Amino acid sequence: MSTAEAVTESVDILIVGGGMVGVALACAIAPTGLNIRILESREDRPEQLIDALPTLTEAGFDPRVSALTCASQQLLTHLGAWPHILDTRASAYTDMRVWDGTGRGEIHFGADELHEPCLGHIVENRVTLAALYRVMQQADNVQFDTGVKIESISSPDPLGARKVRLGDGRSIETRLLVAADGANSRVRALTGMGATEWDYGHHAIVTTIETEDPHQSTCWQRFTEDGPLALLPLAHPNGRTLSIVWSTSPGHARELMALDDESFCQALGKAFEHRLGHILSVDKRHVHPLRQRHAQRYVQAGLALVGDAAHTIHPLAGQGVNLGFLDAAALAEVILDAHERGENWAQEAVLRRFQRMRRADNIQTAAVMEGFRRLFDDLPAPLRLLRSSGMNLMDRISPVKQHLVLMAMGLRGEVPRLARRPLA
């Protein structure tokens, strides 16, 4: 038996997945003083991203961006990460324009109608992650291991504790195992946590573009015949740089990816109805297949699923990472409160409080996104007319429209304490 095989370490909380949601969770729980370990399969160390970020930022934009809601901003502010994000770059957006590409329906959402400074911020994922890494480094009780592969996970003992065996022969015993390892979660698979999933029949093309006309601090979304096309404003001095998420059929996505840059810009401009003039340039394009998944339950004794490990949804409203941050805030709230009361926070009965806080809300959001996607499928002309009329009617009913956008911003409904805006 090698030295590595003989080693068994012990931690209070083991988080598998060192992305935005997993690190946010660790930072939120750190004030308890519990011994927290994060396992990340990638080799890159947190300090590498922090050190490289100025150079990366100067060179261009991360094609992966998120439309962070006010609730996510509040959580990141509470953790101390938001100032780091603002010091790097973030693009506040004040308006959203959504229209039916096969009809005449259009809805406009404006921050001024809500007496808010903005509706949210478009932030590159690596900027958010680096900010969370900075906060994590200040916590002595959080350890981050990279290049880690999980081989097996034991069943829970009577108190819920599990043993995780790693690829290098080490084992880690933990009171609570948290899966934050993404849509194809290894933890979810090894622990038998079933999930319902289906293919959306869409692939998403993501990249960065420059337009002829300014983006006006507006998020633009057109529902095309093949799927939604979103243009999101980025923080560039020229005011004409945007991130795109173009969801379309797999065949159309292959055709678009095969085009040269000039032809792609022309196709994009046409699909976007040239709302911002010509598309002047495009960065490297990336394509991702889209599937919806939802775990049948989020918790077992000594186990919890958060973020994409628990649920994935269509990116048409940019809610994915925001739901993950709300998961992190809710699980942290349950653990913090149980720890303060002296309860066993790894017990399934305690963890079910987290599941009750988040699962119904996540299912509802997924259902709404699926409803929107189906609503804008290719429909007969009479139904397209009805759809457009409904959009125009909603645009004129301010209370309904305001309620919808406030819910999307995380300013209405049951929001976890750490993501809740403080009372004035």
Say yes or no to pLDDT of 385 above 70.
no
Superfamily in which the 3-91+120-197+292-380 domain is placed by CATH: FAD/NAD(P)-binding domain (3.50.50.60)
Single-letter code of the amino acid located at 300: Q
Q: What is the mean pLDDT of residues 273-300?
A: 94
Cβ atoms of residues 98 and 232 within 8 Å: no
pLDDT over threshold 50, residue 368: yes
pLDDT digits (tens, 9 = 90+) for 88-133: 999 999 999 988 866 678 888 899 988 899 999 999 999 999 999 9
The residue with greater pLDDT, 1 or 256, is 256
Whether pLDDT at 417 is above 50: yes
Residue (of 337, 421, 424) closest to 75 by Cα position: 421
pLDDT at site 344: 94
CA 54 vs CA 108, 151, 401: distances in Å: 35, 36, 39
Whether residue 259 contacts residue 209, with contact meaning beta carbons closer than 8 Å, is answered with no
| pLDDT surpasses 90 at 248 | yes
Q: Between residues 403 and 322, which one has the greater pLDDT? A: 322
Between CA 277 and CA 279 the distance in angstroms is 7
pLDDT for position 388: 62
What confidence score (pLDDT) does residue 2 get? 47
